[in-house]
Amino acid sequence: MQFGCLYIPAFPAWVFEHADPAARTAPVVVIASGKVIAVSRRIRSTGITEGIPAERAERLAPEGTLLRHRDASLEQAAWEDVLQDINTYTPFLEPDLPGRLYVKPFAGIREVTCRFRAQTALAPHRSTALLGALRAGEGHMLAIRSRYVRIFLDRFDVERLAGLHFSEELIEQLPMFGFDTLGAALGLAPRHLRAQFGEEGERFYRLIHPSDETPVALYTPPPAIRRAYEFDHPCSEPGELLPALEYVLRQAAAELKGHGAQRVKIILHDRLRPSACTCRVLPEASNDPRRLLNTAAMLLERMLEPGSTVQVVELELGSLRTMQPAQGVLFFQRPPVEKAVRTVHRRYPDVLRRPATAPDAVFEEDRASFEPFE
């Protein structure tokens, strides 16, 4: 039995690189609770690593680096898009956490690994495949056969366990006792590890001593709304396709019923060519038909090529989220400033400032200043 593990390192930064147009050509540093949680690979050499304070990362970041605050809902929507993509290749996949999943090996796994810039490994056990994914290069796949598992563990440094969120205590103390690789620690008994590191020691033992494991289960996709429109004759002009797209979108939007969609996907089918699809993850869930239609129309225009024809246009609204009810009003009101400020602050953190006064300051120049907007 073979297990595959697909791992996208620095997944929060990877999400912004794919969902934020400004981040597609610039490195990204993702911040949460005042600390760095993810960094684009291209600027790791500058000294910016996970766990350092956000202020230090801002000082070390080269010019053009984008600082972003973590967006959990955006990450979940992007992860669901990845799962749906892989689900078109195989029904056997189990998501572990955003950015990491287990699959039953399939024919297109190399192509998926390269396209997502992921790290993938195939091994006889889940834990070995997980360790192999940590060792694989970006966009590459590592295959570990049963007879080479011990050699692989002998070459796996304990300090690499930081990628699996093991504590600094375990990572620092094992080499002090002479166990600088996983292979060297194979002789440790569970009671030794439990006495020294508690529950974390037991987790470490199960990692390097995998037992018989159940096969990868079938994946159940999250709910989504799909609608399609089939033309009597193949179409190629936007003037013919846009009315049909608007028709199916309004049908789909009417079924949201208190939910909002954060992922919009367009699929164009043609009898003579393979189907083409594209997807967009929105910064936040929306049930506004106009906004969803603008996004869908933009995707459609990007997909149309000279000479291409379309027989069926299909729309999918995914990553459904429950929308908070709001009290309606009779008269027009200007959009709240707070929403615009939050949007700017999310894209450009620490750029906005607000005035602060100190009337009792001794010097005139200290009586007014600008402080960061939280």
Query: Are 76 and 319 a contacting pair, CB within 8 Å?
Result: yes
Query: Are 119 and 133 a contacting pair, CB within 8 Å?
Result: yes
Q: Is the pLDDT of residue 337 over 80?
A: no
Residues 205 and 352 in one domain: no
Residues 168 and 189 in one domain: yes
Instruction: Summarize the confidence of residues 22-38 as an average pLDDT.
Output: 86
Q: Is residue 104 part of a domain?
A: yes
SS3 68: strand
Tell me: the pLDDT tens digits for 88-141?
Answer: 999 999 999 999 999 999 999 999 999 999 999 999 999 999 999 999 999 999
Other beta carbons less than 10 A from residue 217's beta carbon: 12
Q: Is residue 330 part of a domain?
A: no
**Under 8 Å CB-to-CB from 1, ≥6 apart: which residues?**
124, 215
% pLDDT > 90, the chain: 55
Q: Is residue 345 part of a domain?
A: yes
Single residue among 221, 251, 285 that ends a domain in this structure? 221
Q: Which domain holds residue 59?
A: 1-221
Residues 356 and 229 in one domain: no
Q: What is the largest CA-CA distance in the chain?
A: 80
Residues 307 and 348 in one domain: no
Q: Is residue 328 part of a domain?
A: no
Q: Is residue 161 part of a domain?
A: yes
Residues β-bridged to residue 7: 100, 119
- In whole angstroms, give the CA distance from residue 205 to residue 340: 50
Helices 289-303 and 238-254 meet at what angle, rounded to 10? 140
- Please say whether the dihedral angle defined by the alpha carbons of residues 23, 24, 25 and 29, taken in this order, is positive or negative: positive
- In whole angstroms, give the CA distance from residue 196 to residue 173: 10
Residues 170 and 288 in one domain: no
The pTM of the full predicted model, rounded to 2 decimals, is 0.75
Tell me: the pLDDT tens digits for 201-219?
Answer: 999 999 999 887 789 999 9
Q: Is residue 154 part of a domain?
A: yes
Position 170 scores a pLDDT of 93
Position 199 scores a pLDDT of 93
Q: Is residue 364 part of a domain?
A: yes
Total residues belonging to the chain: 374
Single residue among 194, 221, 248 that ends a domain in this structure? 221
Position 374 scores a pLDDT of 64
**Helix or strand holding residue 291 (H, E):** helix 289-303
CA distances from 360 to 22, 116, 131, 346, 355 (A): 43, 57, 60, 34, 16
Count structural domains, the chain.
3
Q: Is residue 327 part of a domain?
A: no
Position 26 scores a pLDDT of 84
The CATH number of whichever domain residue 274 belongs to comes to 3.30.1490.100
Q: Is the pLDDT of residue 361 over 90?
A: no
Q: Is the pLDDT of residue 331 over 70?
A: no
Q: What is the DSSP letter of 89?
A: T
Tell me: the pLDDT tens digits for 261-301?
Answer: 999 999 999 877 778 888 888 888 899 999 999 999 999 98
Single residue among 196, 221, 246 that ends a domain in this structure? 221
Residues 204 and 264 in one domain: no
SS3 297: helix
